[in-house]
Structure 1
């Protein structure tokens, strides 16, 4: 066993900040943990438009899975991307796959998730298996068009055949990559329902499904790669662009419902800061297990987003209302909920909160930008996968 945590501790760590697909998923996950099994997780990403920082939410969560004794297979579902986004040629999809692989690798490293615990797979590579083709045909014979359309908006509104095939391909990946749990956004619920219904009809195990929150856009609604640039922050946005986008985000003091900044704190910055804090506690405690982080969790070499001199346990510091005699005052937070409550009570302005978020987010993104600047293959895949971004350069 790769962890000394008990079953309930592992279950709590695995499921925090996530929604279980249904009661069966909760029971099955508990059962597998009681059996002493190390859980194998599956996260898929389709190389279509360029990823935005909402992708941090599942990537950060990998650290919890690994601390609980598991490993996470990242699958780049290139066939899915080609079929659902059929206007782009296959060769371009392959360049986008390289772009995604480079970006996900850099992002995982930046937040301190050990790559040794994150094997990567590509959909088109294992689909050459003859048995896969047989299972695909069987699934096509079992599923109605409506079953496929019910999996989500990306499929339901299409008049083309190819998008209807994509949920079948995704769910067969659970079997062919030999995983226990698939993790996805809340928008994956329909696809997960399809897998739970039809995989057992092929004689395969029904998998556990976990879902993470989706990051809203800076101006309201879901953050999406297809939305205008000012509504989302991209991984490779430069520091000034990040600052300008956050400055223009919806963030009225006292309003926690319609807010584009608080979700970044809740779902990205506080979890990253916690990972950094865990690593520092380990380093300062002179770790004895010989790993590069607690139970194998990565280096996370930077400090939490706490001001110098902050109390122990601080995960985020925000400038306080200042006076002439105290220009370096901060409010320190150990939990997101405490910060949200202060914002609701207007104990801080939106301007100081935006400044703190800008600094913290740029701190997380800087090493990713640096990798890109020195990674010729990544740059080439950017140019070939997204030529429209280079037309004005």
Structure 2
């Protein structure tokens, strides 16, 4: 047994020492004993500890080991909360319905109370709590999200190594479980947690990570792992390794008499029960076997090793002792409440959660609808085309096509965000009945390596919303496109949303959800949030960049797997930054910020790659194709140049511009500097209106607030 030393400086009372010794006896390890001792010595303080169990299989006699310790806690005057982790049970491959789990919780509570009463323990300070009473709340979920940014995938995997099944690519839920267990300490308002030594790494994670979020540090008490009757860990899911608490006496006898109890293998359930259950019960009295008296486990074990105790005699006394306890439990539980709970809680669950909804037949599109589809596909790639066909088949002037784009405010607002709006504008100009939504969802920016500080999430959303409003005004799309902040939706992170979040985490692996750079576990949550936001808003089409098709495909699979319709996506080209790579919120030297001065915009574009006659990686030509000509919407692009360079020209479309740049009229190629000047003029023409909108101090303050570095609780 490994236990931290008690405080050496301050003397403690005999009463405190007795309580502490009772609390710590038979534990394998204890962390934070000094804090526990100080709490026990504090006048008027009722020390509070919790123990949790997932309500999956039926409680078995292995539960007597933690119950024996809980009995010690109660006798020592501690307040004890037993947590029924019904959310964890539900997410265990969705084997149980909520209806079954409701009755299982009743069954667990009745059986556990009866077990403690069989040990003659007062239970006035015993309390029960269901995980779903608080684990689906927004406040709890916020803390889960905050914690995931502090914990790496590797650390989360290591924390759950002893309690979560280890596979090459673990389920995302398996990485989240240790974090939830750590947070339970905060939300149960306990001073410490008790569990098996297999949970040591989870306890260490809690001690290391919760203080970083100002959520406190608790002490932790650990029981040794007790083997089952077959020599392996006693498990609710392994029938041969356990004896259910309400099993009849003949079954109990059969299991015990057939249990593994080799003298060469001391790690067996028979000896373990003497050590951790029977001796603590009878102490200071003796256990009598074959006319021999044993006052402690070590003497009994040695007698057995020396062959002075017969195996059958050892097992017979174990059965007699256990059956005496179990008879009390069976008698207490012999009532209609327990019988109903057992019958209804362990009926065969109908697995409806993972059954995909049957898809409607793909409709035939009219000639007009086919033409709309071709216009949508122009310059884009359609993903989940069947869903698009279904949406188009119902589109009319009174039921326009709903197109949505999700913006994550990871840094400075930039020109790249105009691309989806230009796509919507093009569809409108082509005569397609269309309405658009820009969904500003900045929680993903926090989850992606904290690119926005937690305390600034809402301020960042306001900044992005105002920038989009101004941009939409410049594009004359006010009657078509609206702005929605994700957090303002009534279903955003409500109980159903959070439950679906965990269900999705139980359906995908770590590798499938690794879409962000960096090692933080939070990055794996981004595809889940994206899918759920799409689900609660239900657009007909989502616009994404063509570098994010993997998220669109994952989203479709997740939604379908839980009976929700997938959402069609159109992938559009991304706008390059002045370094030739995708324009990024965080690459300040290369993004085009509408609030930059006209000179700054010109300087950035002037430095971009634009080799004469070369289209490969040519930033100015790409900006012309993806931004300038869509902005002009059929109006020719006027390019001023000196007479020696061929004089001013006007080009109607990108193809003509390409000809001028590569070949040129009369073999006079368009000079890169002249091309860049025309691109700068067009982009500054768009930006000037936004600059004017943000000229007042109130608007500029929105920008400053959006980039606060506060890491406190989101306001």
TM-score bin (small chain)? 0.7 to 0.9
Give runs of aligned pairs for residues 64-213 of structure 1, distance below 5 A.
64-127=72-135, 129-153=137-161, 154=164, 156-157=166-167, 159-213=170-224
Structure 1 Cα separation of the partners of residues 69 and 201 of structure 2: 22
Listed one character per residue, the Cα deviations across residues 116-148 of structure 1 (whole Å, up to 9, x for unaligned) are 111111111123544223222212332233232
- Residues 20 and 26, structure 1, Cα contact 8 Å, conserved in 2: no
Give ranges in structure 2 of 5+ residues lacking alignment.
1-12, 350-715
Give runs of aligned pairs for residues 1-393 of structure 1, distance below 5 A.
5-22=14-31, 25-36=32-43, 37-127=45-135, 129-153=137-161, 154=164, 156-157=166-167, 159-227=170-238, 229-252=239-262, 254-255=263-264, 257-274=266-283, 313-319=284-290, 330-374=291-335, 376-388=336-348
CA 1:377–1:145: 2 relative to 1, 3 Å:
farther
Listed one character per residue, the Cα deviations across residues 19-41 of structure 1 (whole Å, up to 9, x for unaligned) are 3354xx13322333344443211
- 134-143 or 216-225: which moved more? 134-143
Structure 2 Cα separation of the partners of residues 82 and 42 of structure 1: 21
CA 1:140–1:90: 2 relative to 1, 3 Å:
farther
Report the alpha carbon displacement of residue 216 of structure 1 after superposing the two structures with TM. 0.5
- Residues 118 and 329, structure 2, Cα contact 8 Å, conserved in 1: yes
Structure 1 Cα separation of the partners of residues 227 and 339 of structure 2: 28
- Residues 150 and 156, structure 1, Cα contact 8 Å, conserved in 2: no
Structure 2 Cα separation of the partners of residues 5 and 382 of structure 1: 45
| SS state at 1:387 partner | coil
- Residues 315 and 335, structure 1, Cα contact 8 Å, conserved in 2: yes
Structure 2 Cα separation of the partners of residues 381 and 148 of structure 1: 35
Q: Which residue of 2 aligns with 1:298?
A: none
Structure 2 Cα separation of the partners of residues 212 and 258 of structure 1: 15
Give ranges in structure 1 of 5+ residues lacking alignment.
275-312, 320-329
Structure 2 Cα separation of the partners of residues 160 and 258 of structure 1: 31
Highest CA radius of gyration, 1 or 2? 2
- Residues 233 and 241, structure 2, Cα contact 8 Å, conserved in 1: no
CA 1:5–1:86: 2 relative to 1, 3 Å:
farther
- Residues 74 and 123, structure 2, Cα contact 8 Å, conserved in 1: no
Kindly indicate whether structure 1 or structure 2 has the higher relative contact order, using CA contacts under 8 Å at least 6 residues apart: 1
Structure 2 Cα separation of the partners of residues 69 and 258 of structure 1: 32
Structure 2 Cα separation of the partners of residues 197 and 149 of structure 1: 15
Structure 1 Cα separation of the partners of residues 175 and 98 of structure 2: 18
Structure 2 Cα separation of the partners of residues 366 and 112 of structure 1: 14
CA 1:117–1:380: 2 relative to 1, 3 Å:
same
Listed one character per residue, the Cα deviations across residues 333-371 of structure 1 (whole Å, up to 9, x for unaligned) are 222222112112211211111111111110010011123
Paired residues, what number? Answer: 333
| SS state at 1:167 partner | helix
CA 1:248–1:110: 2 relative to 1, 3 Å:
same
Report the alpha carbon displacement of residue 79 of structure 1 after superposing the two structures with TM. 1.2
Structure 2 Cα separation of the partners of residues 365 and 130 of structure 1: 42
Report the alpha carbon displacement of residue 187 of structure 1 after superposing the two structures with TM. 1.4
Report the alpha carbon displacement of residue 155 of structure 1 after superposing the two structures with TM. 5.3
- Residues 84 and 155, structure 1, Cα contact 8 Å, conserved in 2: no
CA 1:261–1:383: 2 relative to 1, 3 Å:
same
Report the alpha carbon displacement of residue 257 of structure 1 after superposing the two structures with TM. 1.5
Report the alpha carbon displacement of residue 175 of structure 1 after superposing the two structures with TM. 1.0
Q: What is the TM-score normalised by the length of structure 2?
A: 0.44
Structure 2 Cα separation of the partners of residues 92 and 11 of structure 1: 39
Listed one character per residue, the Cα deviations across residues 362-387 of structure 1 (whole Å, up to 9, x for unaligned) are 0010011123322x222222222222
